[in-house]
Structure 1
């Protein structure tokens, strides 16, 4: 099998990571890459690290041509703009993996409240499969549209969802404290992500207002069976890539090491057959997963709570690696192809 891929919005960090991963994928090829302002340039002119590895010229989007020449489109556009483009691509008959938040949430009201826009394709909200193969592989396999997960939510949902489903934690009192590398803010110029603003500094942002908070609650609720209450606080750290989430939960029964053992066993039972989730004994760190599609998770006792620790690469398992994994599932090939 040779899967032909279109990359819609190729100039950002997630587009670069998709192109990099596809360049080494044994059963998929990047055939079309689009960009508005950079159309006509080679992708290596925009992303010099791809020189000698990816030989393709950026072009403006033509949904009909994309659908005629490719098997799947990966859409790396901002929310709102993405939904409109995704609707055109789906109407043209191509399967789509969407990187934006436009189709992740169950509720149209929640989306429009948090994202402050009217949804361009409201009929698909709540009717689009969420792209975590660890829980939704069967639905992803037949989907015409997959909502690629958010980076912070991936780092929180994977540790929390099995515990909520198994009834091991109090879901009305969950605290998620996350640290992200600067690439999570995207490639466009912003004052807060300039070198002099981020170097030798760590800062919280969007406290109580970050849009990934409702996504975490939504998906843990969907998988776990009851709506959780999550306090989510993100932080920007002076590194290029990676997310470390420190999550504080109250076990329902038992405490201390007994609770840690029950949580760890629950994870091992849930993820034993999943290739990218590693339940580890050591404390996870972003360096352990940098450039990979893996998540590392561990638990520790602390008073009457248990501390869950989760590390991912925000550009890989948190974005582009997850999209490759979803593509593999959609086309019935090994999830690990192109990701090892």
Structure 2
């Protein structure tokens, strides 16, 4: 039987995650991007905004209301928080949703409003959405109609920490996360802090003690551990590079137990590599442009403490690649479909 090709709309295609979603879908044998929305830039070719997307499959950027929604099977929401739910809640029920914004990540709509400063317009939908950390949600994703893709920092961090939560093998009172991201993680909007002269030749922390991804991370750790009191110390930093995410998690536990738990969790996962103990630390360049995650475990010089490092590409595994991986699982396909052709870009 011939496999039906799904028709996809990419909402917010003029942003980095939207453009990356369009790029990656060109590798997919069963999904075709047929609509690209971007209200502010409607009327342009997508290739005029992103020249690297020229040639085969170039799209006209149109307003969301001009999409022929009766012909669309799946929408990838690549819009900012708030804007995403406002549009998604107007879409017809025949359209499956893979949302890359923060709008459907919180089970508790009150937690969402505290983190993002506005009430959710469809609290029952955010409470029932599937949290799409692909490797940990495969069964829940089957047949789902609304999937919330994790944030890029939570993706890298939860890939490291979730396998240690059940059974619980670390002290949850002393989790410290030092995280670093490339500038694309801040989006494509014109912001003074993202200008070349503001970013290059330096690094700085931001959202210190207040970053909005922290409650998302804590939500998932508590759910997995069956607890309600896990809190983490999370400090993100901006690095002068375009893409990549590096997280260093400082934990209290046994290094061999942590290594064994991670190896067991990801033994059959195509996109996750747990390096052998004693390996050189993973580098963001080792996963650049791919849907891969690399994790390495080290004993700290302080007895009883463990250091775990994880690296991903924030635009692929931390965003658009994971979104496509989620769609594959929703449809009952091989989760690697369309993504297994990606090889790291080096240098």
Please say whether Structure 1 and Structure 2 have the same fold, judged by a TM-score greater than 0.5. yes
Report the equivalent of 1:81: 83
Give the whole-Å Cα distance in 1 for the aligned partners of 2:132 and 2:96: 13
Select 1:265's aligned residue among 249, 254, 260.
260
2:107–2:127 CA contact under 8 A, matched in 1? yes
Give the whole-Å Cα distance in 2 for the aligned partners of 1:314 and 1:108: 26
Report the equivalent of 2:328: 328
1:125 to partner: Cα distance: 2.4
1:19 to partner: Cα distance: 0.8
- The 5-angstrom pairing of residues 143-154 of structure 1 reads 143-154=144-155
Report the equivalent of 2:60: 57
Select 1:300's aligned residue among 274, 294, 298.
298
Report the equivalent of 1:254: none
Q: After the TM superposition, which parts of structure 1 deviate over 3 Å for at least 4 consecutive aligned residues? A: none
Report the equivalent of 2:188: 187
Report the equivalent of 2:51: 48
Number of aligned pairs?
331
Report the equivalent of 1:337: 337
1:93 to partner: Cα distance: 2.3
TM-score (norm 2): 0.93
1:64–1:92 CA contact under 8 A, matched in 2? no
Q: What does the per-residue CA deviation read over 1:174-233, in whole Å, with 9 as the maximum and x for residues that have no partner? A: 111100000000001111111001100000001011000111111111122223210110
1:286 to partner: Cα distance: 0.4
1:130–1:148 CA contact under 8 A, matched in 2? yes
1:84–1:121 CA contact under 8 A, matched in 2? no
- The 5-angstrom pairing of residues 245-284 of structure 1 reads 245-251=247-253, 259-281=254-276, 282=279, 283-284=281-282
Q: What does the per-residue CA deviation read over 1:63-89, in whole Å, with 9 as the maximum and x for residues that have no partner? A: 8722x1121100111111111211112
1:105 to partner: Cα distance: 1.2
1:126 to partner: Cα distance: 2.1
SS in 2 for 1:79: coil
1:324 to partner: Cα distance: 0.7
Report the equivalent of 1:256: none
TM-score (norm 1): 0.95
Give the whole-Å Cα distance in 2 for the aligned partners of 1:288 and 1:97: 27
Give the whole-Å Cα distance in 2 for the aligned partners of 1:70 and 1:288: 36
Report the equivalent of 2:216: 215
Select 2:285's aligned residue among 284, 287, 309.
287
SS in 2 for 1:62: helix
SS in 1 for 2:60: coil
Instruction: Judge which range, 237-246 or 24-33, deviates more.
Output: 24-33
SS in 2 for 1:272: coil
Instruction: Judge which range, 80-89 or 290-299, deviates more.
Output: 80-89
SS in 1 for 2:207: coil
Instruction: Judge which range, 203-212 or 1-10, deviates more.
Output: 1-10
Report the equivalent of 2:120: 119
1:322 to partner: Cα distance: 0.4
1:336 to partner: Cα distance: 0.8
SS in 2 for 1:298: strand
1:92 to partner: Cα distance: 3.9
Give the whole-Å Cα distance in 2 for the aligned partners of 1:223 and 1:126: 16
Give the whole-Å Cα distance in 2 for the aligned partners of 1:322 and 1:135: 12
Give the whole-Å Cα distance in 1 for the aligned partners of 2:66 and 2:329: 23
SS in 2 for 1:102: coil
Give the whole-Å Cα distance in 1 for the aligned partners of 2:35 and 2:150: 23
Instruction: Please tell me the root mean square deviation across aligned C-alpha atoms, in Å.
Output: 1.3
1:53 to partner: Cα distance: 3.4
SS in 2 for 1:125: helix
SS in 2 for 1:88: coil
1:63–1:92 CA contact under 8 A, matched in 2? no
Q: Mind listing any 5+ residue stretches in structure 2 that lack a counterpart?
A: 341-347
